[in-house]
Amino acid sequence: MSKVKAVFLDAYTLDPGDNDLSLLSDLLDLEIYPRTLVNEIIERARSCEVVITNKCKLNRVILHALPNLKFIQVAATGYNNIDIAYASENNIKVCNVAGYSTASVTQHVFAMILNYLNQTALYTNESKEGIWSYRPDFSYWHSPIEELKGKTLGLIGFGKIGQSVARVAHAFGMKVMVLKYMDLNSEDYFTVVDFDSLLQNSDIISLHAPLNASTKNIIDRNSLHKMKKQCILVNTGRGGLIDEEDLFHALRDGEIGVALLDVLNTEPPNPEHILLKLDNCFITPHQAWASLQARRQLVRLMSDNIESYLRSDANLKMVY
């Protein structure tokens, strides 16, 4: 039996050469492109029943131009790049993948925090440059090294990643506060609090909420003003959770201590982006999700979804 025709529009970040996509190509007659420009999407996907996309946006106009399309597999958790209303109206199934990067993001959160607190990269470079060799003492530091133990971590967003971060923080001896939502109740390793309490009492605030109308710019001038002066703000969620101009002013004016960001509103950013110029803002290129193990798990889960679709499995979990 012939395979279903499919296209992967933007496979590079999932597989820059170190991942195996054969699980997907074994199931599908799959054309793989590392990247696809907006004006190339329709041509590449026109004859396909299945489209796999990570960041390529499939809006109403594009979807209308794909008469054979029946299934969209998003190679990520977020699916805001798909016109879900149009897909639902036209019986186009859409699946995302959740939970594949929990360990990877958790590790990145603490990698950023620990590198900032311990300045390991700075001192490694100084040792290699000979600075340690000419110090009068066997040990030195430029500023006090702070421990995580006893500090308070505030979490905005408490899905699988937020819960994982909370457990690691608890293991470090931190106090964990979680922003209250729905019927969430306090547990042994975290306390549920309101927004103002979290902002005012956290030494570190880490963002793990989805980006939607209620969370867009949840960190703005007002919320930044309520944080501790030395607060560490971490964002590995979505850039839109933070008003970047308000954050710039808060960091520049010393209203909070530092921002550790893995995501921005526009990616890649303009080289003149205001946050790139600040000494107390550390930015990594949206890579918290991208451990090799997480990317391999993403492929496995995508192939499970596609296999369920091909079997017409009634239990296929869709996003609408």
Show which residues are catalytic.
238, 267, 286
Strand partners, 187: 190
DSSP helix/strand/coil, 171: helix
CA 31/CA 45 separation, integer angstroms: 9
CA 286/CA 240 separation, integer angstroms: 13
Residue tagged 């839109």 (tokens): 240
In whole angstroms, what separates CA 133 from the centre of its chain? 40
Strand partners, 282: 260
Q: Report angle CA 4, 308, 50 to the nearest 5 degrees.
A: 35
CA 114/CA 109 separation, integer angstroms: 9
CA 282/CA 277 separation, integer angstroms: 10
In this structure, what DSSP letter does residue 93 have?
A: E
The answer to whether 316 and 307 have CB atoms below 8 angstroms apart is no
Could you give the C-alpha distances from 127 to 141, 143, 173, 282, in angstroms and in order?
12, 16, 30, 22
Tokens of 302: 């995508």
Angle between helices 120-128 and 102-118 (to 10 degrees): 60
Strand partners, 74: 53
